[in-house]
């Protein structure tokens, strides 16, 4: 028997801590606060939770968070690997658990002191990210150690093949920043960014400049996945999960898939899109707003192509003239994204996706029937499409 | 390396020193005197007349010659015997250091010193010092190695028992990260110059790096179907054969993509650093550095040739040079 996951679950609650450069408290406390906030938002109590899921990179064990929050018996817990690629992978875990009846109410969470504690930007020299040392052995001696450097290698080739200009990358940063200016939770709240300021910012790894790279942040996010029937009786209108998918592509490496015939598109994200559209019966034409994982500006371009918003190589034209802004063709990252709100490994994007469906975003587009939310790029990855009940 | 129990035992012994004086008070062997002040000022290049010129000093607010405050500790030092004699049996600071040396923390480096002076010392004063172990840290991982910080506090008094100043002194007693030669007690271990990170080696990649050490750039070749693959894998993804050999590449290739590293700087690497994805003429790609031209001259389609070179005294890497 095939079980369809379409419309079998809904997000009933979202919660988060403040986002900062130094939280001043433990990662466990951030996780507990975010989970409690999500439960309060849903109008549920810790005793209602019977499942939990998070990233393999999260240092907070499910049972530690459960003890801290006062969550009781757990029937389901699981983890998803590969950094930000896990952001919707964890949603898929929750959806599968709830749709199959393994659990009724699953908390998804992610919390870290990524800025004041272990910073990912310093790269694998610090011995973080992965125990897959042999994989990294091909990059360590040559200095290719940081997420920015890996993404830059794809970016250079993409720009070369399609005539994408530095100012096209800047367009993504500038559009996203316009949203953060209105968002009190954003690091760049009230701080505008011009194309010229982007172009004048310092190099991180050519061809990426400072404002092509996301924030580093402390903070936590959580959301509650449960059945639509249950969600209907709770505090907020539910955000139905209409399609959700996860994929790793052929010849995939963790951030360094440099050996495929072409490195200027994302086969794993193509596969995610294909599965997600098939499950939901929807297409890119149905998407009213999107949360597109934006650890770096160029990865937004590649995903626009993977999800079919434009042809391969044409994203540079698609993003012009404010197309990604709240009143544009595809309102995108209305919270300011990871570039300008905070880097909570994509999970702040999940919360914003739910706000868009509820109609409560600080940059709320008029039409909000369907919202796309995607996760990490350059890694085995994932995405979902949310809809109104 | 100590077991958890051994470490607990060591730390209990260490903590027993905290709060105790390191031995009997040290009494300055000489009274504060003009010749020693003059020698100190010569050595330091200090020409302040209040230390050196009795007439000028008399006119100053001091009303006579005074000793430089920073000489405070000099008045109680024992001179050469300190370096030559093993020290008194009841010198607890020495015992503490020996305990750590015997427990696998042989090196020592002074990390902090603070002094405060209550009054100027004048010729004829006699200085007495009492030193106490103020605190010992938990085991700390530092850039130099793993070890314990020991803080001591020395109080200095005059012939009337009145305070003339105090000093805190912090040393790190540690096990160096790498020990090219045995570190000697009392000699700070020099921090090794940072070098490029080494490739961690295992079954699936060590043979490739051994090739580099011999001066050969290798490509893994499936013995069953002939497919080339890089980075190496234990099984052929095309035909699932486990049989393979290393084939020597001619090292000629083309830049497929490239980046220039600017930030964050990584110790051991010279920035800005050009890193390229090279497509070898045999068909596989690898990541390596481009040398022999400015980073700004690297471009997609550039023809390059590998030369295997030492980047430090031990590590060899393939470096790619522009040709034509």
3-state secondary structure A179-209: HHHCCCCCCCCCCCCCHHHHHHCCEEEECEE
Mean pLDDT of B175-201: 68
Structure tokens given for A82: 């590969």
Residue B188 pLDDT? 52
Greatest mean pLDDT range, A63-77, B130-144, B172-186: A63-77
Alpha helices in A293-384 (DSSP H): 297-306, 315-318, 347-358
Mean pLDDT of chain A: 94
User: Which one, of B292, B258, B277, lies nearest residue A207 by Cα?
Assistant: B258
C-beta separation of A338 from A349 below 8 A: yes
Q: Is residue B189 pLDDT above 70, yes or no?
A: no
Topology, domain B4-27+83-176? Thiol Ester Dehydrase; Chain A (3.10.129)
Residue A332 to residues A319, A352, B322, Cα–Cα distance (Å): 10, 11, 43
Greatest mean pLDDT range, A51-60, B96-105, B142-151, B190-199: A51-60
Q: Is residue B142 pLDDT above 80, yes or no?
A: no
| Count of domains forming chain A | 1
Alpha helices in chain B (DSSP H): 4-15, 34-44, 49-52, 54-59, 80-84, 92-102, 206-214
C-beta separation of A21 from A114 below 8 A: no
Residue A56 domain-assigned? Answer: yes
Nearest CA in chain B to A119: B264
Q: Is residue A128 pLDDT above 60, yes or no?
A: no
A128 in contact with chain B, both atoms CB, cutoff 8 A: no
Mean pLDDT of B114-129: 93
Mean pLDDT of chain B: 89
Q: Is B196 in contact with A141 (Cβ distance < 8 A)?
A: yes
Give every CB contact of residue A99 below 8 A, 6+ residues apart in sequence: A3, A5, A8, A9
**Cα B161–chain centre separation:** 41
Q: Strand B244-248 relative to strand B252-261: parallel, antiparallel, unpaired?
A: unpaired
Mean pLDDT of A248-267: 94
Q: Which of A136, A149, A263 faces B261 most closely, judged by CB atoms?
A: A149
For residue A66, what are the domain limits?
10-117+214-388
User: Which one, of B229, B201, B211, B228, lies nearest residue A253 by Cα?
Assistant: B229
Higher pLDDT, A159 or A253: A159
The number of C-alpha atoms within 13 Å of B77 and in the hemisphere containing its C-beta is 9
Q: Which of B198, B285, B317 faces A258 most closely, judged by CB atoms?
A: B285
Q: What are the backbone dihedrals phi and psi of residue B96, each rounded to the nearest 5 degrees, phi first?
A: -60, -45
Residue A169 domain-assigned? Answer: no
Mean pLDDT of A26-33: 93
pLDDT band at B182 (very low <50, low <70, confident <90, very high): very low
Compute the distance between CA of residue A214 and CA of residue A122 in angstroms, rounded to an integer.
13
A252 in contact with chain B, both atoms CB, cutoff 8 A: no
In this structure, what CATH number is given to the domain that contains residue A222? Answer: 3.40.47.10
pLDDT tens digits along A156-181: 999 999 999 999 999 999 999 999 99
Mean pLDDT of A33-42: 96
A47 in contact with chain B, both atoms CB, cutoff 8 A: no
Q: Is residue A92 pLDDT above 90, yes or no?
A: yes
Active site residue A293: yes
Query: What percent of chain A stands above pLDDT 90?
Result: 88
3-state DSSP assignment of residue A317: helix
**A297-306 vs A147-162: helix crossing angle, rounded to 10:** 60
Residue B89 pLDDT? 56
A118 in contact with chain B, both atoms CB, cutoff 8 A: no
Q: Is residue A265 pLDDT above 80, yes or no?
A: yes
List of chain B residues whose C-beta atoms are within 8 Å of the C-beta of residue A122: 264
User: Which one, of A155, A116, A87, lies nearest residue A296 by Cα?
Assistant: A155
C-beta separation of B92 from B20 below 8 A: yes
Q: Is residue A299 pLDDT above 70, yes or no?
A: yes
A256 in contact with chain B, both atoms CB, cutoff 8 A: yes
Mean pLDDT of B128-139: 90
Give every CB contact of residue A23 below 8 A, 6+ residues apart in sequence: A17, A30, A113, A116, A218, A219
Q: Which of A153, A156, A204 faces B263 most closely, judged by CB atoms?
A: A204
Q: Is residue B202 pLDDT above 90, yes or no?
A: no
Residue A119 pLDDT? 84
Structural domain spans, chain B: 4-27+83-176, 206-322
C-beta separation of B17 from B92 below 8 A: yes
Mean pLDDT of A296-317: 98
Active site residue A162: no
Query: What's the predicted TM-score (pTM) here?
Result: 0.72
Mean pLDDT of A120-138: 68
**Cα A194–chain centre separation:** 25
Mean pLDDT of B233-248: 92
What's the farthest any 2 CA atoms get from each other in chain B?
98
Residue A129 pLDDT? 41
Greatest mean pLDDT range, A362-371, B17-26, B178-187: A362-371
Q: Is residue A130 pLDDT above 50, yes or no?
A: no
Mean pLDDT of B299-306: 98
pLDDT tens digits along B305-319: 999 999 999 999 999
Residue A263 domain-assigned? Answer: yes
Q: Is residue B88 pLDDT above 60, yes or no?
A: no
Most A-contacting residue of B143, B197, B227, B317 (CB-CB within 10 A), to test interface:
B197
């Amino acid at each position: 028997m095939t079980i369809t996951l379409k419309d079998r679950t809904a997000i009933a609650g979202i919660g988060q801590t403040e986002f900062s450069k130094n939280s001043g408290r433990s990662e466990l406390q951030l996780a507990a606060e975010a989970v409690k906030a999500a439960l309060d938002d849903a109008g549920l109590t810790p005793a209602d939770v019977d499942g939990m899921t998070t990233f393999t990179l999260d240092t907070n064990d499910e049972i530690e968070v459960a003890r801290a929050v006062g969550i009781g018996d757990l029937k389901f817990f699981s983890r998803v690997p590969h950094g930000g690629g896990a952001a919707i992978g964890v949603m898929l875990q929750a959806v599968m658990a709830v749709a199959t009846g393994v659990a009724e109410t699953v908390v998804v969470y992610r919390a870290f002191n990524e800025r004041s504690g272990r910073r990912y930007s310093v790269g694998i020299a610090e011995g973080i990210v992965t125990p897959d040392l042999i994989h990294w052995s091909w990059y360590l001696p040559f200095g290719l150690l940081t997420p920015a450097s890996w993404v830059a290698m794809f970016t250079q080739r993409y720009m070369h093949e399609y005539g994408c200009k530095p100012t096209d990358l800047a367009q993504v940063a500038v559009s996203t920043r316009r949203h953060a200016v209105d968002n009190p939770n954003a690091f760049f709240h009230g701080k505008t960014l011009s194309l010229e300021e982007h172009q004048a910012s310092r190099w991180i790894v050519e061809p990426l400049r400072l404002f092509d790279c996301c924030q580093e942040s402390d903070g936590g996010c959580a959301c509650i996945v449960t059945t639509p029937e249950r969600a209907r009786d709770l505090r907020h209108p539910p955000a139905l999960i209409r399609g959700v998918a996860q994929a790793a592509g052929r010849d995939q490496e963790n951030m360094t898939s440099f050996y495929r015939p072409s490195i200027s598109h994302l086969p794993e994200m193509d596969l995610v899109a294909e599965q997600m559209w098939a499950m939901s019966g929807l297409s890119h034409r149905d998407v009213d707003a999107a949360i597109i994982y934006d650890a770096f500006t160029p990865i937004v371009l590649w995903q626009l192509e993977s999800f079919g918003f434009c042809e391969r190589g044409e994203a540079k034209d698609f993003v012009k003239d404010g197309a990604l802004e709240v009143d544009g063709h595809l309102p995108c990252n209305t919270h300011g994204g990871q570039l300008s709100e905070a880097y909570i490994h994509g999970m702040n994007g999940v919360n914003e996706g739910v706000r868009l469906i509820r109609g409560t975003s600080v940059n709320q587009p008029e039409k909000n029937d369907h919202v796309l939310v995607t996760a990490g790029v350059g890694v085995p990855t994932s995405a979902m499409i949310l809809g109104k009940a | 390396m100590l077991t958890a129990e051994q470490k607990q035992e060591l730390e209990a012994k260490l903590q027993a020193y905290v709060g105790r004086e390191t031995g009997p008070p040290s009494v300055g062997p000489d009274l504060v005197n003009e010749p020693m002040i003059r020698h100190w000022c010569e050595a330091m290049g200090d020409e302040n007349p209040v230390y050196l010129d009795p007439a000028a000093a008399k006119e100053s607010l001091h009303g006579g010659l005074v000793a430089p405050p920073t000489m405070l500790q000099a008045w109680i030092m024992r001179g050469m015997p300190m370096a030559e004699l093993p020290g008194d049996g009841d010198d607890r600071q020495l015992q503490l250091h020996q305990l750590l040396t015997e427990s696998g923390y042989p090196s020592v480096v002074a990390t902090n010193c603070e002094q405060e002076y209550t009054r100027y010392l004048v010729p004829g004063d006699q200085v007495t010092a009492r030193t106490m172990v103020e605190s010992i840290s938990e085991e700390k991982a530092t850039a130099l190695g793993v070890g314990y910080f020991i803080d001591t506090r020395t109080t200095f008094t005059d012939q009337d028992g009145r305070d003339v100043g105090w000093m805190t002194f912090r040393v790190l007693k540690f096990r160096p990260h790498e020990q090219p030669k045995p570190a000697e007690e009392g000699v700070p271990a020099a921090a090794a110059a940072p070098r490029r990170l080494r490739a961690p080696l295992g079954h699936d990649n060590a043979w490739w790096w051994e090739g580099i050490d011999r001066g050969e750039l290798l490509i893994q070749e499936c013995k069953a179907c002939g497919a080339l693959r890089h980075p190496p894998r234990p099984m052929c993804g095309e035909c699932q054969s486990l049989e393979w050999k290393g084939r020597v590449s001619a090292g000629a290739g083309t830049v497929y993509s490239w980046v220039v590293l600017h930030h964050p700087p990584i110790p051991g690497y010279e920035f800005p650093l050009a890193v390229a994805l090279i497509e070898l003429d045999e068909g596989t790609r690898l990541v390596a550095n481009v040398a022999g031209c400015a980073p700004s001259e690297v471009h997609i389609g550039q023809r390059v040739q590998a030369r295997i070179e030492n980047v430090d005294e031990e590590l060899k890497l393939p470096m790619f040079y522009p040709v034509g």
